[in-house]
C-alpha cells in the first residue's frame, strides 16, 4: 500500500509491533525507574491480551484506563492493539462526574484504575449505569477489584485476529471547554501515517531516544512516547509529570536525542538558572508547538541557550500529529511549515469560501489518503458531520498561507473576542502585552459588554521584582494596537489555571470569572 508515495510494510500497528518484537532486549519505553524492552512488551501484551479475551473482551470492544504513565500502561495498550480492542486512556485529572460521562460515552467493558486515583473512581462508581469489569493497578488488593497481576496470567500466545487499516485503535478525548468532551475514534492507519511523518520530521535513527512530555490520554503522549518510537524501532521515555527541575536530568540520564516541549513548557524551562550544563546533553532536535502559545523570542532563546533546533508543527487529535511541520532543512520564521503532501489546506471565510493568499480565515484540512484522520466523534454524529462539512475538516483555528505556501497560525477561533462589531484575536493582544519587560505571562478573554457583545479583559502575571500598574497595561497596548483591541479591564494574578497536557491557560475558567473586581479603564 502506498501512503504519500511511501510503500508501507504494514497497514496496522499490530503487524508493526509483531515485527518489532524481534528487537528483544532493546528498551521500548523507559518510565520513571522502569524499563520495558521490546521482548518484555511482546510477552506481557500477549498475556494481557489473552486474559482480556478470557473476560469476554474481543475485537472492537473498549478497554479504558485511568492510570498515570507507566510501562504497565503501555503493555495494556499494546495488548489492546494485538487483540483488536479499542484503547481509551482517560485523563487522570477528571472529576467524578466527568469520569462517569467518559466511561458511559466509551461504553468500556473493562477499566484499569491506578490505585493513586481510586478515590476519584470510587466517587464516580455509584453513578455508573453499566459498570465495567474493574482492575486495580498497584497498591493493596481491594474487594470487588481484580488485581492487575492476574492479567499477566494469560498465555504467551499471539491472539488470532485480523486487522484492517480502518479498524479503530483508540479513543482520545479532546475539547470540552465549550461543550461536552468529544471522543475521537482513531483507526490504525491514523497512527501509521503519524508515525511516518514522525520518521520524516525527526529523521529517526536506530539509536534515537525520544523524551516525551505528555500522557497516554493525549495524542502527543501516545505518538511521541510509544507509537512513534515503536514504529521506528527506537526508544521512548515518559515521566509521570512534566517537571522543570528534573527535565534535563532525565534527558541526560536516558540519553535523549529528541524532545517535544510544548508551548509554555519552553518558557518554563527558560526559568532555570543558566548553567554550564545547559548544553550537556545529546538532544539533536525538538518537535513542538510554540506558535500561538509563547512569544517567538522564547523559542529563539531556547534554541540558542540549549543548542536544540525546535521544529514548529501544526496538527490536532482529529487529524493526527505532525500533519504540518517545519523540517530541519526547511526552517521558516514564524510559520508552522507545510504539509509535505500529507494533507490539503484551505483558508476559508465564514461561508467556507477560500480567501486570498495572506488573508486570515479558518484553517480547513483534508486528507490525501483514506483512514489517516479520525473516523468520527463517538456517539456524536451531528458534531462529526458539522466538523467535516463541505468535505473539509474545520479546525476552529485561524491562520493564513503566505505566497510560498507556508501556514501561519494566528489563534483559535474560540479565543476571539467580539468588540463593537470587530473580531479581536486574543493571541494578537497577548503577543503585544507579553513584550512588556514586566510581564511574565498574560491572557486575554472576553467579558459581557454593556452593548450586548464583549469587552476585553486582561489577566496579567508580573515578573518578580518588577512593578506594573493597570494604566501601564493600557498605555502599552494603546501605543501598539487599534483602539478597539486595547483591554478595558485589567486584573493581576500570581498564577494561571492550566491544562495538564499542554500547560495551556484554561481560558474558559477565566471567562467564568467575568469582570469580577478587575480595574476598569472607563470607571
**pLDDT tens for the 523 residues of the chain, in order:** 999 999 999 999 999 999 999 999 999 999 999 999 999 999 999 999 999 999 999 999 999 999 999 999 999 999 999 999 999 999 898 888 889 999 999 999 999 999 999 999 999 999 999 999 999 999 888 889 999 999 999 999 999 999 999 999 999 998 544 457 899 999 999 999 999 999 999 999 999 999 998 999 999 999 999 999 999 999 999 999 999 999 999 999 999 999 999 877 888 899 999 999 999 999 999 998 766 566 678 889 999 999 999 999 999 999 999 999 999 999 998 899 999 999 999 999 989 999 999 999 999 999 999 999 999 999 999 999 999 999 999 998 889 999 999 999 887 776 778 787 667 878 778 888 999 999 999 999 999 887 567 899 999 999 998 999 999 999 999 988 878 889 999 999 999 988 766 677 888 789 889 999 999 999 8
Quick one: cell of 199?
A: 520518521
Inter-residue contact 375 to 187 (CB < 8 Å): yes
Dist CA 316 CA 397 (whole Å): 10
Dist CA 438 CA 469 (whole Å): 10
Burial of 141 (0-12, 13-18, 19+ CB in 10 A): exposed
Residue 154 sits at φ, ψ, to 5 deg, of -70, 165
The domain that holds 502 is classified in CATH as: 3.30.300.30
In which region does residue 144 sit, left (phi positive, over 0), alpha (psi from -120 to 50) or beta (all else)? left
Alpha-carbon 214 to chain mean position = 7
275 lies in some domain: no
What's the number of CA atoms in the CB half-sphere (13 Å) around residue 13? 37
Burial of 313 (0-12, 13-18, 19+ CB in 10 A): buried
Cβ contacts of residue 404 below 8 Å, gap of 6+?
Answer: none
Alpha-carbon 12 to chain mean position = 22
What SS3 state is found at 11? coil
Q: Which of 199, 234, 269 is the last residue of a domain?
A: 234
The beta-strand segments (E) located in 273-327 are 285-288, 310-316, 320-325
307 lies in some domain: no
Strand partners, 3: 6
182 lies in some domain: yes
Q: Which of 199, 217, 234 is the last residue of a domain?
A: 234
- Nearest C-alpha neighbor of 200 from the set 329, 365, 290: 329
325 lies in some domain: no
Locus of grid cell 466523534: 377
Domain count, the chain: 2
357 lies in some domain: no
Dist CA 270 CA 237 (whole Å): 21
Locus of grid cell 476571539: 416
Diameter of the chain by CA atoms? 73
The domain that holds 70 is classified in CATH as: 3.40.50.980
394 lies in some domain: no
pLDDT at site 288: 82
Q: Is the dihedral of CA 224, 368, 106, 84 positive or negative?
A: negative
pLDDT at site 178: 43
Quick one: cell of 378?
A: 463517538
Quick one: cell of 202?
A: 525527526
Note the helical H segments in 364-454.
381-387, 426-434
Range(s) of the domain holding residue 22:
1-234
115 lies in some domain: yes
With b for 16 or more beta-carbon neighbours within 10 A and e for fewer, the 344-382 pattern comes to ebbbbeeeeeeeeeeebbbbbbebebebbbbbbbbebee
pLDDT at site 4: 95
- Nearest C-alpha neighbor of 339 from the set 373, 316, 374, 313: 313
Cβ contacts of residue 241 below 8 Å, gap of 6+?
Answer: none
Cβ-based neighbour number of residue 501 at 10 Å: 20
303 lies in some domain: no
Dist CA 292 CA 115 (whole Å): 37
- pTM as predicted: 0.84
Q: Which of 178, 207, 234 is the last residue of a domain?
A: 234
Quick one: cell of 131?
A: 459498570
3-state secondary structure 176-228: CCCCCCEEEEEEHHHHHHHHHHHHHHHCCCCCCEEECCCCCCCHHHHHHHHHH
Amino acid at each position: 500500500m502506498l501512503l504519500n508515495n511511501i510503500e508501507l510494510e504494514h497497514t496496522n500497528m499490530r503487524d508493526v509491533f509483531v515485527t518489532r518484537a524481534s528487537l528483544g532486549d532493546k528498551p521500548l519505553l523507559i518510565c520513571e525507574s522502569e524499563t520495558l524492552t521490546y521482548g518484555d512488551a511482546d510477552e506481557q501484551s500477549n498475556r494481557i491480551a489473552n486474559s482480556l479475551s478470557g473476560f469476554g473482551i474481543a475485537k472492537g470492544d473498549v478497554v479504558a484506563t485511568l492510570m498515570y504513565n507507566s510501562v504497565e500502561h503501555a503493555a495494556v495498550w499494546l495488548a489492546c492493539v494485538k487483540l483488536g480492542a479499542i484503547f481509551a486512556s482517560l485523563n487522570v485529572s477528571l472529576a467524578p462526574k466527568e469520569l462517569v460521562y467518559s466511561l458511559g460515552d466509551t461504553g468500556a467493558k473493562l477499566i484499569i484504575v491506578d490505585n493513586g486515583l481510586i478515590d476519584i473512581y470510587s466517587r464516580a462508581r455509584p453513578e455508573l449505569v453499566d459498570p465495567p469489569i474493574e482492575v486495580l493497578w498497584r497498591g493493596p488488593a481491594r474487594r470487588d477489584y481484580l488485581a492487575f497481576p492476574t492479567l499477566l496470567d494469560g498465555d504467551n500466545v499471539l491472539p488470532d485476529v485480523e486487522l484492517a487499516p480502518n479498524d479503530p485503535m483508540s479513543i482520545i478525548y479532546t475539547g470540552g471547554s465549550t461543550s461536552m468532551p468529544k471522543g475521537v475514534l482513531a483507526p490504525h492507519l491514523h497512527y501509521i501515517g503519524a508515525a511516518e511523518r514522525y520518521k520524516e520530521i525527526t529523521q529517526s535513527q536506530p539509536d534515537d531516544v525520544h523524551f516525551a512530555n505528555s500522557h497516554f490520554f493525549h495524542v502527543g503522549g501516545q505518538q511521541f512516547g510509544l507509537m512513534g518510537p515503536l514504529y521506528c524501532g527506537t526508544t521512548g521515555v515518559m515521566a509521570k509529570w512534566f517537571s522543570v527541575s528534573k527535565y534535563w536530568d532525565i534527558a541526560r540520564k536516558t540519553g535523549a536525542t529528541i524532545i517535544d516541549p510544548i508551548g509554555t513548557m519552553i518558557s518554563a524551562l527558560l526559568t532555570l538558572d543558566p548553567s554550564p550544563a545547559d548544553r550537556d546533553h545529546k538532544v539533536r532536535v525538538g518537535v513542538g508547538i510554540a506558535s500561538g502559545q509563547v512569544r517567538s523570542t522564547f523559542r529563539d532563546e531556547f534554541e540558542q541557550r540549549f543548542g536544540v533546533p525546535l521544529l514548529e508543527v501544526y496538527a490536532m487529535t482529529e487529524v493526527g500529529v505532525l500533519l504540518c511541520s517545519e523540517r530541519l532543512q526547511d526552517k521558516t520564521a514564524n510559520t508552522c511549515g507545510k504539509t509535505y503532501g500529507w494533507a490539503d489546506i484551505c483558508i476559508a471565510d465564514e461561508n467556507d469560501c477560500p480567501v486570498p493568499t495572506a488573508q486570515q480565515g479558518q484553517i480547513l484540512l483534508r486528507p490525501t489518503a483514506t483512514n489517516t484522520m479520525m473516523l468520527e466523534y463517538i456517539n456524536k454524529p451531528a458534531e462529526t458531520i458539522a466538523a467535516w462539512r463541505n468535505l473539509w475538516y474545520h479546525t476552529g483555528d485561524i491562520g493564513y498561507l503566505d505566497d510560498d505556501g507556508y501556514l501561519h497560525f494566528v489563534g483559535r477561533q474560540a479565543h476571539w473576542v467580539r468588540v463593537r462589531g470587530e473580531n479581536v484575536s486574543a493571541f494578537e493582544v497577548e503577543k503585544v502585552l507579553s513584550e512588556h519587560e514586566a510581564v511574565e505571562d498574560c491572557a486575554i478573554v472576553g467579558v459581557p459588554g454593556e452593548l450586548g457583545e464583549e469587552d476585553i479583559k486582561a489577566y496579567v502575571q508580573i515578573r518578580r521584582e518588577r512593578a506594573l500598574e493597570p494604566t501601564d497595561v493600557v498605555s502599552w497596548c494603546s501605543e501598539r494596537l487599534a483602539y478597539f483591541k486595547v483591554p478595558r479591564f485589567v486584573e493581576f494574578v500570581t498564577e494561571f489555571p492550566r491544562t495538564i497536557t499542554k500547560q495551556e491557560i484554561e481560558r474558559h475558567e477565566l471567562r467564568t470569572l467575568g469582570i469580577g473586581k478587575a480595574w476598569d479603564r472607563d470607571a
